[in-house]
Amino acid sequence: MELNLLKRRSEYEWEIAPKGRMRVPAIIFASEALISAMDQKVYEQAVNVAMLPGIVGASYAMPDAHWGYGFPIGGVAAFDPDEGGVISAGGVGFDISCGVRCLHTALKRADIMDVQRELANALYHRIPVGVGSTGLVHLGPSEMDAMLSGGAKWAVESGWGTREDLERIEECGQMQGAEPGKVSGRAKERQRDEMGTLGSGNHYLEVQEVTAVYDPAAAKVFGLEIGDAVVMIHCGSRGLGHQIGTEFLKRMAESAAQHGIHLPDRELACAPINSELGRDYLGAMRAAINCALANRQILTHLVRKVFADLLPTATLTLLYDVSHNTCKVEEHRSLKLYVHRKGATRSFGPGHPDVPEALRGVGQPVLIGGSMGTASYVLAGTEQSERLAFSSACHGAGRAMSRHQASRTWRGREVVDGLASRGILIRSPSMRGVAEEAPLAYKDVSEVVDCADAAGLARKVARLEPLVCIKG
């Protein structure tokens, strides 16, 4: 990115002043090294988002930002419905409510390493993964609608988990306002056999070790100690969410002119929040959020069964489940705003009423998944983040090169063997997929997390290193 186009507000905050059709500035949080390496398209997309009707404050980009569809991935924007604010399917993304959950195991690294290969094989054979993967759950029409309305709460009531799990999930596991009737038959058909599956791309299931603690007080509240083994699950709403995004983007693009909306980029297709189309999308998107929450809940149940067979002393209690790729109604600056987070994580600070009571004193867990073979992080939300970016933080490392470029640079078998030499076991149905997700195809997650911490978006609590990775 061309630094001469930016005004440096602080060491980790850069501003693009309003110009042309921009209604607000665009703010990018990054170190000089990170922002210099960002694609120029991040600049262009952050500027375009700042042109949308009803936007409040600024168009924001997180330290992991990279080129996305319409919004940059790592983009955050809030809209006021009383000022003509819009909702954008591109500002949510195709994998609606893709997110991360982290589970304690009550085990240590040594416990995992005693059965590492057996555990890797068992998880791979019992967790459906890969393009078009299907699971053991098959939903008829009434069950589909119940799942889309109930989310993780529906999954727990169906026998996949415990009520205690719901206390550690955003929205207590059930997104209100979901309207299954606004989800197309095609989207439902795509999801009928995909519940309890990881999918492909950057989705994964990892067994990890806590290797560093940065905030002992917060780590104690989160139940994390050096040497602990945890499980991290990263996936979303699968085919259903993608279908909803595809259909509504087309409808929004076709109707923009009749709503008097000038689109700087067709990929920013949107609709007024208070329009019929806007309300229809909200109902469908919220149903997709419930789909993702239910999906991760079923996967948790499957993981627990594998551990029960191989490591029966494991407990697998839920630390937290947090989504990215959402639009949620939140109160900020004394306004009810529709906050889009595309590849960005909510990061409510200490004392926020939406943080589970047991964690409220230190803030919401912010789960940052690494790329395959690299570290992941647990952070905590800050009060400062509310002022900076509507309580938002990064969600991962962010791609440094395209999947096509990565697959031309590395061979999957070489990546698997290289990680095995470091004690990390990879299991995947696709060596091409492994090459596309090679660690060096992503930015340095530690640099991204250090930037988020230094900027005040969230504060570092613990670092996690992979031991086993099941990859789509």
Cα separation, 173 vs 151, whole angstroms: 6
Question: Which tokens sit at 136?
Answer: 């053991």
DSSP string, 32-60: HHHHHHS-HHHHHHHHHHTTSTTEEEEEE
Tell me if 48 sits within 8 A of 265, measured CB to CB. yes
DSSP secondary-structure letter at 285? Answer: H
Tell me if 213 sits within 8 A of 462, measured CB to CB. yes
Cα separation, 186 vs 302, whole angstroms: 27
Burial classification of residue 163, based on how many CB atoms lie within 10 Å of its CB (0-12 exposed, 13-18 middle, 19 or more buried): exposed
Strands 458-471 and 344-346 come out as unpaired
The residues, any chain, with a CB within 8 Å of residue 65's CB and separated by 6 or more, are 28, 30, 38, 42, 46, 72, 73, 74, 75, 343, 398
Question: Shortest CA distance to 45 belongs to which of 263, 277, 328?
Answer: 263
Cα separation, 129 vs 296, whole angstroms: 13
Question: Shortest CA distance to 455 belongs to which of 414, 408, 394?
Answer: 394
Question: Which tokens sit at 326?
Answer: 């959402």
Question: Shortest CA distance to 322 belongs to which of 377, 269, 367?
Answer: 367
Active site residue 234: no
Cα separation, 175 vs 81, whole angstroms: 20
Q: How many CB atoms lie within 10 A of CB 416?
A: 22
Longest dimension (CA), the chain: 64
DSSP secondary-structure letter at 173? Answer: G
Cα separation, 105 vs 311, whole angstroms: 10
The residues, any chain, with a CB within 8 Å of residue 158's CB and separated by 6 or more, are none
* H or E, element range at 239: helix 238-255
Catalytic residue among 125, 301, 395, 404: 395
Q: Which residues pair with 59 in a beta bridge?
A: 26
Active centre residues (catalytic): 395
